[in-house]
């Protein structure tokens, strides 16, 4: 498997609790460059919590989260620039159009002269070109999910974290999502996603981890 510094993301002996409720117990996982790990399990099994820990949005009660071999807080500049995520309850600005949302992300992550080109390509890829001037509240729930996913396409990243990215997507959009994730892997990105869609997991992941009651179990 190589040493720890070769892993883009290493989750080591992770415990997490909320009050007296144990949510994760001694969870270990790693994601290497060009690899995809799919987290499977029922609602409440700990998948979303593990992703929030991986993103640095929470601190584990025990264990460590290493990004390229270092413990990094979410506000560390390098982590912000290298980690893209669409987690639970993706936020948006109600007064910005879809195009403005994507431009904001593109410009914040170093695209300047190419920002419009990158954004237009992402709008086309996510079937949002006809809704570029719409506001988030004017979109369907599936279109808002596509907008959230499109934000990851207008910025560079070495680690992509996704929480049930297939939510509210139709069959064609799920297939296109699988194609984009496969392309991200080919570019060398590490991908960690939680999903209920085993077809998606089979299409994009080389490793599947199953959580049950906060513990990793065998995948049957």
Sheet holding 190-194, edge to edge: 83-86, 159-163, 190-194, 36-40, 207-212, 215-217
* Domains of the chain as residue ranges with CATH: 4-217 (3.40.50.300)
Taking residues 64-79, report their average pLDDT: 78
Helix ranges (DSSP H) in 38-193: 47-54, 77-82, 98-108, 115-125, 141-151, 171-186
* Confidence band for 129, pLDDT divided at 50, 70 and 90: very high
Q: Identify the DSSP state of 90.
A: -
pLDDT for 165-178, tens place per residue? 999 999 999 999 99
pTM of the full structure? 0.93
Cβ neighbours, 10 Å, residue 37? 21
């Amino acid at each position: 498997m190589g040493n720890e510094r070769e892993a883009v993301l290493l989750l080591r002996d992770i415990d997490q609790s909320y009050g007296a409720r144990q949510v994760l117990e001694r969870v270990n996982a790693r994601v290497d460059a060009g690899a995809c790990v799919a987290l499977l399990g029922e609602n409440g099994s700990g998948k979303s919590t593990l992703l929030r820990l991986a993103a640095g949005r929470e601190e584990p009660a025990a264990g460590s989260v290493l990004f390229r071999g270092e413990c990094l807080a979410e506000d560390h500049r390098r982590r912000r620039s290298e980690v893209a995520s669409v987690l639970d309850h993706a936020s948006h600005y109600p007064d910005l159009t879809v195009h403005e949302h994507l431009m904001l992300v593109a410009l914040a992550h170093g695209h300047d002269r190419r920002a419009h080109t990158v954004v237009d390509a992402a709008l086309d890829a996510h079937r949002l070109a006809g809704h570029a001037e719409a506001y988030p509240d004017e979109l369907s729930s599936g279109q808002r999910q596509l907008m959230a996913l499109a934000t990851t396409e207008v910025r560079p990243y070495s680690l992509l974290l996704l929480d049930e990215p297939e939510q509210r997507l139709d069959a064609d959009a799920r297939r296109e999502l699988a194609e984009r994730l496969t392309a991200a892997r080919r570019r060398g990105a590490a991908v960690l996603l939680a999903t209920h869609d085993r077809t998606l997991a089979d299409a994009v992941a080389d490793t599947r981890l199953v959580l049950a009651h906060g513990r990793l179990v065998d995948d049957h």
